Amino acid sequence: MASRPPPTRASSIRTQKTKQLSSGAKRAVAKQRSGPGLGRWVLGGWLLLALWLSVEFARLPDASLLRTQNPRTTALMAQRAEEASEAGKKPRVRQAWVPLGAVAPHAVDAVLISEDARFYRHEGVDWTEVENAFEQSVREARLGRGASTLTQQLAKNLYLSTDRSLLRKGKELLLARQLETHLSKQRILALYLNVVEWGEGVYGIEAAAREHFGVSARGLSVAQGAMLAGMLPAPRRWLPAQRPESLRTRAGVILTRLEREGRISGAQAREAQAELSRFFGVSPAPGFVAEAGAGHPAGS
C-alpha cells in the first residue's frame, strides 16, 4: 500500500518552527559576536581612563609645599604674559601678598557669597552645585552657569590654562582634591585671594583694592568689597572705572545676599547700596531685591 503524505498543516507548523529556531539561533550568534566586542570597547575605554588618571595623578605638583610657601607666579600669570608679548605689549603685573587677616572681613564674605557659598561644606568639588548647573542647562537647552568651586578656580589659576577642554577639567578636579587634602580651608582662601585676577595685570585683592579704589584690602568698604567680588566672573571687562551696568547689578545682588545671610546688618546694607548708587551715578532703587546671578560660581 502506498504511504500517505503527511498533512500539509503539520508540515507547515514544522517549517515555521524550524524558521523560528533558525532565526533565534542567528540572533544568539549575533549577540555572542556583538556582545563581547562591545564589552571589550567599554572595558578598554575604562582602562584608558584609569591609565590617564593614574599618569596625571603621578604628575600632579606637590600641593603640600603651599602650606608655607607662596607661589612666585602662576599658570594664569604666565599665560597673560605670553598673550601680552604676542600682542606686542609689555606684560603688566601688580600683586602684593597679604595674610587673610589683612583683608576686610566683609570683602572676604562677598567673595565667598559670589563664588562659592558652600566653600566650607565641600571637599573641593560641590556636587550639589554641579547637579543644579546640569539641571539648569537641561531646562534651558543650553550651557548655563559654571559649577567651579573656589578651590577649583585656585587650581586652574595656579597650574592650568583658561581653555575649556574636558581634559583640562579633569586635571582641575584632581588638583582641587589635592589642594583640599594638603591645605586648610583658610590657606586655600588666602591663596585664592592673593592670586585671582582682578583686571589686566592685577592679581590679588590687595593690588585690586589699590588699583580700583586707592585703598588697602583692609580698608575696603562694604560696597567696594561687593564690587570686587562682582568683578570675578569677568575681571578684565567688568572694571569699576568703566561703570558697567552688569557690575552694578551683580554688586547689588551680593549686598542683598550678605544682608540676608547675616554677614552685614541692615544699616550696613542700606549704606552700601547708597554708596553703590553714588559710585555709578544712579538713583538708588527702593526695595532693591535682585536675585539673578548671585551665589553662582564663575565659569570652568
Q: Is 94 helix (H, G, I), strand (E, B) or coil?
A: strand
- Quote the cell numbers at residue 289: 531685591
Q: Which residues pair with 94 in a beta bridge?
A: 202
Q: What is the residue-level pLDDT of the chain in tens, covering all 300 positions?
A: 444 444 544 445 444 544 444 555 445 444 444 455 676 776 676 666 556 555 555 567 888 999 999 999 999 999 999 999 999 999 999 999 999 999 999 999 999 999 999 999 998 887 776 666 556 555 555 444 456 899 999 999 999 977 777 777 888 989 999 999 999 999 999 999 999 999 999 999 999 999 999 999 999 999 999 999 999 999 999 999 999 999 999 999 999 999 999 999 999 999 999 999 999 998 765 554 444 344 444 443
Four-point Cα dihedral 229, 230, 233, 239, nearest 10: -110
Per-residue pLDDT at 125 = 81
- For residues 78 and 86, give the distance between their C-alpha atoms in angstroms, rounded to a whole number: 12
- Residue in the block written with cell 603688566: 92
Helices assigned H by DSSP within the chain: 8-58, 75-86, 105-115, 127-140, 150-159, 166-182, 185-195, 205-213, 222-231, 245-260, 266-280
Per-residue pLDDT at 18 = 46
Q: Report CA-CA distances (Å) from 162 to 111, 115, 159, 174, 186.
A: 20, 17, 10, 16, 25
268 Cβ contact list (under 8 Å, min separation 6): 106, 222, 259
Q: Could you tell me if 253 and 296 are in contact, meaning their C-beta atoms sit under 8 angstroms apart? A: no
Per-residue pLDDT at 40 = 74
Per-residue pLDDT at 19 = 46
pTM: 0.74
- Residue in the block written with cell 603651599: 66
The domain ranges of the chain are: 94-280
Q: Could you tell me if 182 and 61 are in contact, meaning their C-beta atoms sit under 8 angstroms apart? A: no
Per-residue pLDDT at 17 = 45
Q: From the CB of residue 218, how many other CB atoms can be counted at a distance below 10 Å?
A: 15
Per-residue pLDDT at 57 = 55
Per-residue pLDDT at 139 = 55
- Quote the cell numbers at residue 207: 593690588
Per-residue pLDDT at 195 = 97
Per-residue pLDDT at 145 = 45
How far does CA 137 lie from the centroid of its chain? 14
Q: Nearest 5°: CA angle at 150, between 149 and 152?
A: 65
Q: Is the dihedral of CA 157, 161, 165, 171 positive or negative?
A: negative
Q: Could you tell me if 248 and 90 are in contact, meaning their C-beta atoms sit under 8 angstroms apart? A: no
Q: Nearest 5°: CA angle at 159, between 157 and 160?
A: 75
CATH topology of domain 94-280: Penicillin binding protein transpeptidase fold (1.10.3810)
